[in-house]
Structure 1
Amino acid sequence: MTLRVPFWERSIGVRIIVLFLGMLLAVQLASFTALQASLSQHAHRVLPNQLREGERLLQSLLERKAGALVDGARLLAADYGFREAVSSNDADTIVSVLANHGARIGATEAALLGTDFALRASTAAHPNELVAVAHQLRDSAIAGQPSTIALVAGTPHQAVLVPVRAPLVVGWVLMAFPVDPHLGDDMRDLSGLGLTLVSRRSPDGPWRLSLTSLDAGRSAGLVGEKWPASAIDQPMTSVMAAGEELGVRVMPLGRPPAHGAAPDILALVSLSVDDAVRLPRDLQLALIGITLLAIGVFAVGSVFTARRVTTPLRALAAAAERLGAGDFETPMRGQRRHDEVGELSQAFERMRTRVAENQAQILRLAYWDSLTGLPNRARFREAVNDAIAERSTIAVVMLDLNRFKHVNDVLGYRIGDLLLIQVGQRLASHLVREGELVARLSGDEFGILLRVPHAALALSIAERIERAFDEPLALEEHRVDMRAAIGVACWPQHADDGDALLNRAELAMYAAKRRSSGPVLYAPSIDVASAQTLTLLTELREAVERGELRLYLQPKLALDDGRVIGAEALVRWQHRERGLVPPGEFIPFAEQTGFIRVLTLWVFEEAARHHRRLGAGAAELVLSVNLSTRDLLDPELPLKFAAVLARHRVPAEAFCFEITESAIMDDPARALAILDRLSEMGFQLSIDDFGTGYSSLAYLKRLPVDEIKIDQSFVRSMQSERDDATIVRSTIDLAHNLGLQVVAEGVESAEVWNMLRELGCDQAQGYHMGRPMPVDEFARFVERKPASLPAGARAVALTLH
C-alpha cells in the first residue's frame, strides 16, 4: 500500500515557498487583526460619548417642541371668552373652546381643572388619565416647568399645564400632544443616531414600540429587552439585535418613577457597533492590494531561494546513493562552498573516509562480547553451523553460573564483570584442538564448542571444567567460590542441525541445574520430562478435584518396648493414565510453583479426617505435618489449620509439624512468627532431617521445638560407620539434655534397632518395622499393636516425600 504524501512534503523548495508565503500571510493577518482590535477599542471608547451627545440632542428637541406647545396652551388660557366661560362656569362653552383651540394647535386631549386640580371639563375619553398627569405636573408647573412626557390613552404624549388667570388663578388648562412621529427622523438626520421610544402600561408589563427610526429587525430586538432600572445609569449598553451589536443609551422620559423602579417610557438612543468597527471600504481595498503585491514579490524571492538550496542538496543526495551502493572512492562535490551546504559536503567527505573503518568495528561488535572479548551467541551459533557443515563430530557444552546475581548484589557490578572475565579465561584454558572456542552467550551463560570424536570424551571434558571451579576466583581483595550447571549435547548423536544442538545442550544444562549432581549429557528423556512438566500443574489441580491423591502411613514405634506410637504419612498420586506417580516427580515441582500449599492443606485435612479411624488408641495419637518454605510464608496458615480442626473436632495437641532448616532460611523472621503462632495454638514442632544443615544448633535455641528427627543418612549406616554412630549418640544426648524427644528414621535392620535402643533413642521409623501402607491397613496394624503409652510420647508424622 502506497501512502499519499502531501505535495508540500515532497520538496524542500515547495516547503520554502509555502513557508515564506505563509509567513507573509501571517504577518498581514496579524496586522489586520491588530487594526481591527484597535478600531474596536476606539469605537467602544468613543461611542458612549456619541450616545451622550445624542441624548442631549433629543432633550433639546423635546424641550423646543414643549416650548411651542406651552405657548399655544397659554394663548388659550389668556383668551377673554375662555376666561369668562371659566368664571361663569359655562361647561359647554369651556369644552367647545378646549376642542376648537386644541385642534388648531394639534392637541388630541384637553381638560380644565380647578384650582384644587379637580376636573371641571374635558375633551378626553378617559379624563382620569389627564387628572393623573395634571397631578404629576402640578409642582413643576407652579415652579415654571409646565411640560412632561406621559402615557395618555396608552401612547406617549407631550403634556403641558398652564394656569388660567382672571387676574388671579381661577383654574388650570392641561393639553396633551402625541409625540412627534418625525422625532426619530430628525434625530437620524441631525446626528446619525437611531431613536426608539418604548412604553408599558404597568411596571411588570411588556414593553411596546411607540416610535422608531430603525428597521423592523433592530427595533424588535430593542423592544424584546428587559431594560431594568440599572440600565439608565450606564454610558452604553450592548444589545444583540437582528444578529448585530447595537450600543444603546437608555433615557427615561416623563416624571421620575418610584425609587428602584424603571420608568414607563424610555427613549433608546442607539447606533451600530459593528458599523463603527468595520474598516472603511477604501482601506479594505488598499490592504488587499498591498497583500497581493507582497505575495507576488515573496513568491519570486522564495523560488530563487529554494533553487539555491535544493540544487546542492540534490547533488548530496546522489552522493549518498553512491555511498549506499558501496562506492567510497568518489569524492564529494561542493566542498569549496563556505555556507552550511559546504559544511555538509565536508561532513559527507569525512564520513566516506571513515565508513570502511567503521565496517570492521561493526562486524566486531556484532560477533564479539565487549566485556570478555569472547565471541557472542551469534558468532557461536555461526561456528557451530560451520562445524556441522564440515561434517565434523562436535559437542556443545552449555554452562550457567550459580549465584552470579548474588555476587552482583553483594560485591557490586564491577566485581561481577571481573568474575565473568576470569571465568572466560579459565574456560578457554581447556581448549586444545583447532576450531574449538568459548563464547559468552548471555549474562552468566557460556558456551563451549568442542571437536571431539564421541560423547564420553565431551562429558569427561565437562567434568574437568566443573572441577576447575573448585579453586576460588581471586577478584581484587575478594575470593569467590563459584559453581556452574553444565549441560552437554553432541552432533550428530543428539541433533540434526545447529539450532537443535544448542537447544538440547541448554535443556541438559537446566537439567543439571535441577539435579545439582554434576554435568548432564543430553538424553531424549529430558525432552519428555520438559514436555510433561508443562501440563503437570493442571494435572495436579485435577488430581485434587478428582480425588486421585492417596494418604499412606508408615509406622513409628517406641524403642523401649516396640509398641506402635504413630506413623509417618506420605502422599501418593494414583494417576488415571500413568498409574502411581513417584513423589519425586511432582513434589519438587509443587514446591517450585507454590502448589505445595494445596498439598500440605490436603494432607492435614485427610489426617484430621482419619484421626479417629486409626484404631482403639487413635484418640491419643499426635499427628505431625511437614511444612515447606512456601507454607511458612503464608500468614493465613494458622487460620486455615484452625478451620480444619474445628471442622473435624480434633484438638491442636493431636498434631506436630515437622520443619527443615531450609524451610526457615528464605525469610527467618516471617517463618519464626508463623511457628510461634502455631506453638501458641497447642501444636507441637519437630526439626526434620536434623544434622544435615549448617545451623541446626542455632535453630534449636530459637525455635519452640518439642523433638528432633535424625536424618536417615546417619541412621542407616551407623552399624558399619563409626563416625555416623558417634553423630547419632551425640545428637541423642544433646536432645535429651535440652528436654527434647528423639526420632530416628531409616531403621532397616534389627541391629540398628538394638543400637538405637541402647543409646536411649525414643522413637524409630523404617522398613524394619513396616513399609508405607494405606490408612485402612495401618488402622489394622495399630489394632494389632495398640498404642497405650501416655499422651505426648506418641506421634504420627505426615510428610510429602
Structure 2
Amino acid sequence: MNILLIDDDPLMLKLLARQLAKFGLGDVTACERAHDALVVVEARRGAAELIFCDLQMPEMDGVEFVRQLAHIGFKGGLVLVSGEDERILQAAEKLARAHKLDVLGSLHKPVSPAQLQEILGLFSNRPALVPRAFRKGYGPDELQRGIVGGQMVNHYQPKVAFASGTVMGVETLVRWRHPEDGLVFPDQFIDVAEEYGLIDHLTHAVLTGALEADRRWKAEGLSLGLAVNVSMENLTNLEFPERVERAVAQAGLPVSSLMLEVTESRLMKNRLESLDILTRLRLKRIGLSIDDFGTGHSSLVQLRDIPFSELKIDRGFVHGAHRDASARAIVEASLSMARHLGMTTVAEGVEDRDDWDFLRASGCDLAQGWFVAKPMPAAELPDWIAEWDLRRPSLVGEQS
C-alpha cells in the first residue's frame, strides 16, 4: 500500500513513518509541503492510496489541500491529523466528506499506536465503493421513458427496535435499472424529476411497487411498517392525500401501516398548501416522518407546525456520536424533544456496534443503517430476517 504523509514538522513525519513501519507498512512518501504532495498525487494513479495530512501548514494549509484533492478526483483514503482544537478538526473532517472524499477519520497529535491501528483497520476493512455506472447527467425525456417503461426498482432497508431487536419495518429506496448504465442511484435523477415535473409519476411508481411488495410480505406472514419517501414537490398537489389513500386501498392494506418520509431539501413553495396536505394525510391515519432532522430546512418550526409522528435523526449526527461531544448533545436533545412530543425516533446511519450501543442506551426507538442491513431487493428480505433473528440476541442481551 502506498502511503503519503504531509506535515511541515520533519520530526512528526519521522515518528509517523516509524509507527507505520511497525505495522509492516514501509512504502511511505513524506512531504513537508502540501504543494509537493499534490505533485506526487497527480504524478501517477495509485501513487498515494492513503494520505495522512496535517491541517496546520504554511503556504497551503490542510483545508486548502483537501479542496485540491477533491478537484483532481483523489479516490484513496484520507486521514486528517492536527494538534488543533477538536471542533476545528471535526469541521475539517466534515468539509472533506462534503467534498466526497473517502475520509477514514482524524487523529490528534501526538498520534498514538492505538489510534493509528484503528485507522488502518478502517482502511483495510472499509466496504468497497459501489461502482456507479457513470456520473453523468440524465435528461427529463430519458427519465420519463425509464419511469413509464418500468425501469424503476425498489430496494428496502430494515428498521429494527433497539430494545428488542424486532424488525419493525422498512424504508423504500428507489433505484433506476438503466438499460445501458446498470443500477443508477437516486442522487443522479431525483433532482431532474423535481425540476421537470416528473416527481409525481416517480413517487407513484415507487409507492405502488412498495405496496405490492408489502402485500406479498403480509401474505407470507410478515407484518412490517412501510416507509416511502416523498418530495416537497409532491406536496403542491392538493389531491395527493387522496391519491395515496386510493393506492393503499387498491393494494388491500391498512393506511396505518404506511409512513411517508418527508425530507425538506428545498423550501416549501407554498407553505399553507403543504401544511394542508400533510395535515390531511395524518387525518387519514397515514404516518409522517421528518427525515434527516437537523439538516437542510428540517427544523423546530416544522415540528411545531406539522403533525409528524416520527423523527429520523440524520446519519451525520448518529455515526460516531459516542465519541463526538457535539453530535452526542444534538442526538440526546433530539431524542428528548421527540419523547416529549410523543414521536417515534429513528437513528439513521447506525454503522457499527458502538453506534448501536450508544443509541440503545440513549433510549432511541429504532435503528437503521449498515450495521443492521444494507438496502436489499424485496425477495431477499424474508431470508435476511431469518438471519437477523439469529444475530439479534447478542445485541439486546437475550439468552440464545
Aligned positions of 1:95-106 closer than 5 A? none
1:670 is displaced (CA, Å) by: 0.4
Report the aligned-residue RMSD: 2.6
Aligned positions of 1:7-26 closer than 5 A? none
SS of corresponding position for 1:614? helix
1:783 is displaced (CA, Å) by: 4.7
1:692 is displaced (CA, Å) by: 1.5
| Contact 2:293 2:313 (8 Å CA) reproduced | yes
Sort the Cα spacing of 1:615 and 1:609 in 2 relative to 1 into closer, same or farther, 3 A.
closer
SS of corresponding position for 2:345? strand
Match of 1:605 among 208, 225, 240: 208
Distance of 1:720 and 1:641 partners within structure 2? 42
Sort the Cα spacing of 1:636 and 1:694 in 2 relative to 1 into closer, same or farther, 3 A.
closer
Aligned residue for 1:573? 176
Q: Residues 530-565 of structure 1, C-alpha deviation per residue, up to 9 Å, x if partnerless?
A: 8x54xx222222222332221101111110122211
1:649 is displaced (CA, Å) by: 1.1
Sort the Cα spacing of 1:661 and 1:545 in 2 relative to 1 into closer, same or farther, 3 A.
closer
Aligned residue for 1:781? 384
Aligned positions of 1:569-648 closer than 5 A? 569-614=172-217, 620-648=223-251
Match of 1:552 among 155, 170, 175: 155
Aligned residue for 1:727? 330
Aligned residue for 1:264? none
Aligned residue for 2:305? 702
| Contact 2:152 2:206 (8 Å CA) reproduced | no
| Contact 1:706 1:740 (8 Å CA) reproduced | yes
Aligned residue for 2:146? 543
Q: Residues 656-707 of structure 1, C-alpha deviation per residue, up to 9 Å, x if partnerless?
A: 1111244563211000000111111110111111111466222212111111
Pairing 1:674–2:298 present: no
Letter in 2 for 1:731: S
| Contact 2:248 2:254 (8 Å CA) reproduced | yes
Aligned residue for 2:122? none
Letter in 2 for 1:643: R
| Contact 1:615 1:783 (8 Å CA) reproduced | no
Pairing 1:750–2:323 present: no
| Contact 2:265 2:297 (8 Å CA) reproduced | no
Aligned positions of 1:47-126 closer than 5 A? none
Aligned residue for 2:294? 691
Letter in 2 for 1:701: R
Sort the Cα spacing of 1:695 and 1:562 in 2 relative to 1 into closer, same or farther, 3 A.
closer
| Contact 1:552 1:774 (8 Å CA) reproduced | yes
Aligned residue for 1:285? none
Sort the Cα spacing of 1:695 and 1:558 in 2 relative to 1 into closer, same or farther, 3 A.
closer
1:615 is displaced (CA, Å) by: 5.7
SS of corresponding position for 2:323? coil
| Contact 2:320 2:354 (8 Å CA) reproduced | no
1:616 is displaced (CA, Å) by: 7.0
Aligned residue for 2:253? 650
Match of 1:564 among 163, 167, 190: 167
Sort the Cα spacing of 1:693 and 1:545 in 2 relative to 1 into closer, same or farther, 3 A.
closer
Aligned residue for 1:659? 262
| Contact 1:575 1:581 (8 Å CA) reproduced | yes
Aligned positions of 1:188-203 closer than 5 A? none
SS of corresponding position for 2:157? strand
Sort the Cα spacing of 1:616 and 1:695 in 2 relative to 1 into closer, same or farther, 3 A.
closer
Sort the Cα spacing of 1:664 and 1:622 in 2 relative to 1 into closer, same or farther, 3 A.
farther
SS of corresponding position for 1:734? helix
| Contact 1:657 1:683 (8 Å CA) reproduced | yes
Aligned residue for 2:106? none
Distance of 2:183 and 2:220 partners within structure 1? 31
SS of corresponding position for 2:370? coil
SS of corresponding position for 1:577? coil
Greater relative contact order (CA < 8 Å, ≥ 6 in sequence):
2
| Contact 2:263 2:298 (8 Å CA) reproduced | no
Count matched residues.
262
Pairing 1:764–2:367 present: yes
Letter in 2 for 1:606: G
Q: Residues 490-548 of structure 1, C-alpha deviation per residue, up to 9 Å, x if partnerless?
A: xxxxxxxxxxxxxxxxxxxxxxxxxx97xxxxxxxxxx988x54xx2222222223322
Distance of 1:707 and 1:646 partners within structure 2? 23
Letter in 2 for 1:592: E
| Contact 1:655 1:683 (8 Å CA) reproduced | yes
Distance of 2:388 and 2:334 partners within structure 1? 28
Distance of 1:617 and 1:726 partners within structure 2? 42
Distance of 2:306 and 2:220 partners within structure 1? 30
SS of corresponding position for 2:322? coil
Aligned residue for 1:740? 343
Aligned positions of 1:348-497 closer than 5 A? none
Sort the Cα spacing of 1:783 and 1:704 in 2 relative to 1 into closer, same or farther, 3 A.
same
| Contact 1:625 1:656 (8 Å CA) reproduced | yes
1:593 is displaced (CA, Å) by: 1.3
Q: Residues 567-613 of structure 1, C-alpha deviation per residue, up to 9 Å, x if partnerless?
A: 12111111111212232211121121121211111111011111132
Sort the Cα spacing of 1:573 and 1:695 in 2 relative to 1 into closer, same or farther, 3 A.
closer
Q: Which segments of 5 or more consecutive residues in structure 1 lack a partner in the other structure?
A: 1-459, 465-487, 489-515, 518-527, 787-801
1:640 is displaced (CA, Å) by: 1.5
Aligned positions of 1:105-254 closer than 5 A? none
SS of corresponding position for 1:623? strand
Distance of 2:297 and 2:234 partners within structure 1? 22
Distance of 2:162 and 2:289 partners within structure 1? 18
1:643 is displaced (CA, Å) by: 2.1
| Contact 1:549 1:571 (8 Å CA) reproduced | yes
Sort the Cα spacing of 1:617 and 1:683 in 2 relative to 1 into closer, same or farther, 3 A.
farther
| Contact 1:664 1:672 (8 Å CA) reproduced | no
Aligned residue for 1:375? none
| Contact 1:613 1:779 (8 Å CA) reproduced | no
1:769 is displaced (CA, Å) by: 0.7
Distance of 1:649 and 1:612 partners within structure 2? 8
| Contact 1:614 1:776 (8 Å CA) reproduced | no
| Contact 1:712 1:746 (8 Å CA) reproduced | yes
SS of corresponding position for 2:275? helix
TM-score normalized with structure 1 length: 0.31
TM-score normalized with structure 2 length: 0.61
